[in-house]
Structure 1
Amino acid sequence: LNAELSYVRNDVINHYALSFNLLIPCETNNLHFSWHVKSKVEYKLGFQVDNPIAMAMPQANISLQGEVPRTLSVFCVELSCTGKLDSEVTILMQLNLTINSSKNITILNFKRRKMCYKKLEPEVKSPTSDKNSSKAIFDPVNTAPTTSTRVFYISVGVCCAVIFLVAIILAVLHLHSMKRIELDDSISDSSSSQGLSQPSTQTTQYLRADTPNNATPVTSYPTLRIEKNDLKSVTLMEAKAKVKDIAISRERITLKDVLQEGTFGRIFHGILIEEKDPSKEKQVFVKTVKDQASEVQVTMMLTESCKLRGLHHRNLLPITHVCIEEGEKPMVLLPYMNWGNLKLFLRQCKLVEANNPQAISQQDLVHMAIQIACGMSYLARREVIHKDLAARNCVIDDALQVKITDNALSRDLFPMDYHCLGDNENRPVRWMALESLVNNEFSSASDVWAFGVTLWELMTLGQTPYVDIDPFEMAAYLKDGYRIAQPINCPDELFAVMACCWALDPEERPKFQQLVQCLTEFHAALGAYV
């Protein structure tokens, strides 16, 4: 990464820098640390990984015990994945510093996170094929090849060449015909930063929201897996059958305070009793419906709740259980996050901002954006399209950890964020990319567009985007090149990231992995000025 993070400067420890658990790109295998001291300081170095099956123990190119050099030096730590399974690994590097061999010991803990992926096993040739191949190349010693033998080998060679050429032609035709999604997990550091810091001419024109660029919308996107937002009619019985395997008894759930309430839906703070040990309990979110909810609304809640089911990532919050007993209102359970909905949290921060300007910093907001981008990067790798990324569909806890949720009940709890454009479907018009508005087409690139709007929400502490634009005019407004204006006190570099996300051509928008790296570098630069 083209960024530096200072942990100790002028004998003062930067505790905030130590608390930041930095995400390492999967293709980065080495970390470099620079250090030096003015007087004698002894050190001890140690490492821990939470999943030794996915990552080998880190190795340093210096001894694990000795003296800190008096001149500026750099040491390297190697982080090598084993390739045995897919997992996000947390690495802890502990550095113990002792001054003048006394009891004055300072302990520095450096935390990093890295995604490791399972390597594909090479194909093993069967014994039969080995025997065949050995027979094919066998030539008796001291026996001159006959004319028929030469003709046979020439024929085999010509056949192999023809088969090879046909395979190449078929592969080219296949690549041109299929629609695929690009997974850029192996982007180099330099290319990732250049992709955002040096946007194309078309993208640069979006930096002024009051100037249209008159760009012609693109109608076909050959390298993106595009998904239509077709709402297939699912019956309530079918919806319940899909979640039957995670259904639990109503007796295990206790409802406490109402956290959010809409026309037909509610979110409660609840308590779930452990099945194996009734003396243990844990806090949960409980999504449910009121008595007047229709069967269609109940079905939609259950169906949309399954969007992230089965996915595991530190920045995702999938459902854990449901209650679908006869005679009871259906309930959907998610792990509890004590500061709740991100949009409501941001608006609360805005209310107290006048009395407490330090309530939430710009660096905190960028850290939230990094977490959302990490979760979306994971979804993109799994070819899952969210279709409704926004601050209202994220939750946060008191450690400022952010997790992305599904959009079940969002239309009811945030009715002003959804609009019907005459097709009998409420959609988040102000967060949607142009191709989604016009052609009802969604892809990872349309999720990137929504991420740009979500980043704008973060920097404005929960304001509504395009609040003065008629929802029916949004498509024409975007097609003419207009975008939401740069928020007050938002750095130009951060608004440039948003602008890249709003490129008309989905191919010109950055990938989520690029966004993670760019925002991480920007976050580190903000820390350098603190």
Structure 2
Amino acid sequence: MVTHVHLLPAVSLLLAVLAVESSVNIFMSEDEVKKLLGLKAQLYYVRDGVVCQNAFSFVLPVPGDMGSLHFTWHASTPVEYRLGFQVDDPIAMDPPTVNVTWNGAVPRLPSVFRVNLPCTGRVESEVALLMQLNLTATSTSTTSTATSTAAGKNVTTLNFKRRKSCSRQADLDEGPLGPSTDGHGGATVAVAAAAAATTSTRVFYISVGVCCAVIFLVALVLALLHIHSMKKVEEDSLFDSESTQGLSQPSTQTTQCLRADTPNNAAPITNYPSLKIEKNDLKPLNLPEAKSRVRDIAVARERVTLKQVLQEGTFGRIYHGVLLDEKDPKVEKEVFVKTVNEHASEVQVVLMLTESCKLRGLHHRNLLPICAVCVDEGERPLVLLPLMSWGNLKLFLRQCKLAEANNPQSLSQQDLVNIAIQIACGMSYLTKREVVHRDLAARNCVIDEGLHVKITDTALARDLFPMDYHCLGDNVNRPVRWMALEGLLHHDFSPASDVWAFGVTLWELMTLGQTPYAEIDPFEMAAYLKDGFRIPQPCNCPDELFAVMACCWALDPEERPKFTQLVQCLTEFHAALTAYV
């Protein structure tokens, strides 16, 4: 098992509705706001117990020269708090620290608490960070003793989001004078030499320097032209070569390359499989047409009760909800409820409804299709799915990795392989039904306390996990780091491309939710994969299991295993693990 902490992307604070009766205030001062946004104003997150939702609409960047954030807070009545952090790139940033205790009471008088953002200086990166602030307040209502007792304590989770720029230490150390520490001495010698030089000598050296520069530039242009022509020849012959040179020769890449025992990714490739159209691949329609397609599973809005928010993005939310039985209102069914906020556009609403129907009508123990919708006029559409108690698989894996978290249970290697088998079984069923998922990843799976896993649709995934999607210049956000080469180059999707994504999902499982290819620019992913490079073998991942991942990442789609083969292979590996425990 990997034990070091890997935290979520982006430094931001998201506040849920503050349900405390005390007057709580949390804001940033004018000086702090001016450093971040250049504006002379205070930025309130909570004012007199009321959440300012507009303050959390954007992820605020933190410049590289700002090493800390300052927040002012106070409460008129006793309010307890608990702090926690999640960091997207622990290589670039160490865990944040604060000048207050990790848990305690919000001060009665206005005071400032500081959040230190310590960059490691090892790599250059924009680190996404989440600071979570849990507030617990005792209800002070005296109008009804029964109401107060039932209410108990109100707990509110506040999530502040930021994006911190971190630079390499070498870049910071080398100033205009270079790495030398003798800046003043060097300047003095330079001035003395300049004063001693004659005008003719200066002209001579300047002339020689200009000539050398011209010669260097001409040589550089010729070299670039030669390299460009050679590269074109190599690209034309790359897939006609039978050698594995792309896997064995030394590389200047900073990230590890694929192991030597992985499939021959230099095998000839002439054509990729054509795009398979799913039977239930719904294209975005207008809102009335989208609603009409789900009228047969529509339920009255009065039967649905929304409880706490489980996830929230810019315009989308997932609630823990309750659906009342139509015949017997006393019978309740716990559900996930996907919906949008008042800022969502009609296009986003249509996209949520159409993508929610991705798995509709399919029945398998490892799939989670929608069970009902609410599309009443004048109301936000609600999409209902059966509740899985531990929620999103990616968030669950990352929670298990947090040292300070109260983990519901520690995951063994057998547990992780069992989860992979369930995902492969669900994907095998989709393949038989001629359905291509296109976005298989841990974020699009859910899990319960019995470690039962189900694959979900992709509705709201781009909004709830924005760091996993990138636009490559065509105004379409795609899961670039999970996509096969044919998807990146030609937008071709097939069961074979889903197999590639399954290999990346298996890597997510073994790293407990780390981001694949974290150091690779999304625009360079296609060239990186084409050159034969892959994500490295995770720590404590058996060679046999990594070999399964590597087979999924063969450049030729025909060389990748089928999901039925993956189920059989992983089942045998799980049995072997169990035999030795």
TM-score (norm 2): 0.54
| Paired residues of 2:265 and 2:555 also in contact (CA < 8 A) | no
Deviation of the 1:201 alpha carbon: 9.0
- 1:156-167 to 2 correspondences below 5 Å: none
Contact map agreement 2:321 2:336 (CA 8 A) in 1:
yes
Work out whether 1:437 is the aligned partner of 2:479. no
Aligned-partner Cα distance in 2 for 1:234–1:318: 20
In 2 relative to 1, CA 410–347 (structure 1 residues): closer, same or farther, beyond 3 Å? same
Quote how far apart the aligned CAs of 1:226 are.
Answer: 3.5
- 4+ aligned runs moved over 6 Å, structure 1: 200-204, 210-214, 228-231, 353-358
1:276 aligns with 2:321: no
- Give the structure 2 partner of residue 69 of structure 1: none
Change (3 A) 1:408 1:357: closer
Tell me the residue number matched to 2:346: 295
1:371 aligns with 2:422: yes
User: Any gaps of 5 or more consecutive residues in structure 1?
Assistant: 1-199
Partner residue in 2 for 1:380: 431
Aligned to 2:157: none
The one-letter code matched in structure 2 to 1:491 is P
Cα deviation code 1:33-59 (max 9, x no counterpart): xxxxxxxxxxxxxxxxxxxxxxxxxxx
Partner residue in 1 for 2:50: none
Maintained 8 Å contact 1:217/1:479: no
Decide whether aligned partners of structure 1 residues 343 and 369 sit closer, same or farther in structure 2, where only a CA change above 3 A counts: same
Q: Using the alignment, how far apart are the partners of 1:365 and 1:431 within structure 2?
A: 19
User: Which position in structure 2 is the counterpart of 1:470?
Assistant: 521
Partner secondary structure for residue 402 of structure 2: helix
- Between the two proteins, what is the percent identity of the paired residues? 76
What CA distance in whole angstroms lies between the structure 2 residues aligned with 1:260 and 1:328? 20
Match of 2:541 in 1: 490
**Residue of structure 2 in register with 1:100 after alignment:** none
Using a 3 Å threshold, how does the CA distance of structure 1 residues 500 and 202 change in structure 2: closer, same or farther?
farther
How much has 1:507 moved relative to structure 2?
0.3
Is contact 1:353-1:359 (8 Å) kept?
Answer: no
Encode CA deviations 1:155-202: one digit per residue, 9 max, x unaligned. Answer: xxxxxxxxxxxxxxxxxxxxxxxxxxxxxxxxxxxxxxxxxxxxx997
**What secondary structure does 2:359 align onto?**
coil
d(CA) in 2 for partners of 1:230, 1:377: 18
Q: Partner residue of 2:176?
A: none
**Which amino acid is the alignment partner of residue 209 of structure 1?**
L
Bigger relative contact order (CA 8 A; separation at least 6): 1
Map residues 72-471 of structure 1 onto 2, 5 A cutoff: 208-209=257-258, 215=266, 218-221=269-272, 226-227=276-277, 232-352=283-403, 359-471=410-522
Contact 2:399 2:407 in 1 (8 A): no
Residue by residue over 1:23-81, the C-alpha shift from the partner in whole angstroms, topping out at 9 and shown as x without a partner, is xxxxxxxxxxxxxxxxxxxxxxxxxxxxxxxxxxxxxxxxxxxxxxxxxxxxxxxxxxx
Query: In 2, Cα distance between the equivalents of 1:230 and 1:276?
Result: 33
Give the drift of 1:241. 1.2
Q: Secondary structure at the match of 1:442?
A: coil
AA matched with 2:572: E
Match of 2:26 in 1: none
Q: Distance in 2 between matches of 1:304 and 1:378?
A: 19
Which residue of structure 2 lines up, in the alignment, with residue 20 of structure 1? none
Q: In the alignment, which residue of structure 1 is the partner of 2:15?
A: none
**1:506 aligned to 2:557?**
yes
Distance 2:440 2:245 in 1: 22
1:352 Cα deviation after fit: 3.5
Decide whether the 8 Å contact of 2:400 with 2:407 is kept in 1.
no
Q: Secondary structure at the match of 2:358?
A: coil
| Separation of aligned partners in 2, 1:327 and 1:412 | 23
Q: Which amino acid aligns with 1:407?
A: T
Give the CA deviation at 1:221: 3.8
Instruction: After TM superposition, give the deviation of residue 236 of structure 1 in Å.
Output: 1.2
Q: Which amino acid aligns with 2:416?
A: L
The alignment partner of 2:519 has SS state of coil
Shift in Å, 1:215: 2.5
Counterpart among 508, 525, 530 of residue 576 in structure 2: 525
Superimposed CA distance per residue, residues 321-350 of structure 1 (whole angstroms, 9 cap, x where no aligned partner):
010101110010000000000000000011
Tell me the distance in 1 between the aligned counterparts of 2:551 and 2:494. Answer: 16
Whether the aligned pair in 2 keeps the contact of 1:216 and 1:479 (CA below 8 Å) is: no
Query: How far apart are 1:358 and its partner, in Å?
Result: 7.3
How many residue pairs get aligned? The number is: 330
TM-score if structure 1 supplies the norm length? 0.59
Q: How far apart are the structure 2 equivalents of 1:332 and 1:214?
A: 42
In structure 2, the residue corresponding to 1:258 is in which secondary structure?
A: strand
| 1:360 Cα deviation from its structure 2 partner | 0.9
1:441 aligned counterpart, secondary structure: coil
Give the 3 Å change call, closer, same or farther, for CA 334–204 of structure 1 in structure 2: farther
Q: Secondary structure at the match of 2:430?
A: helix
Name the Cα RMSD after superposition.
2.7
Q: 1:472 to 1:221 in 2, by over 3 A?
A: closer
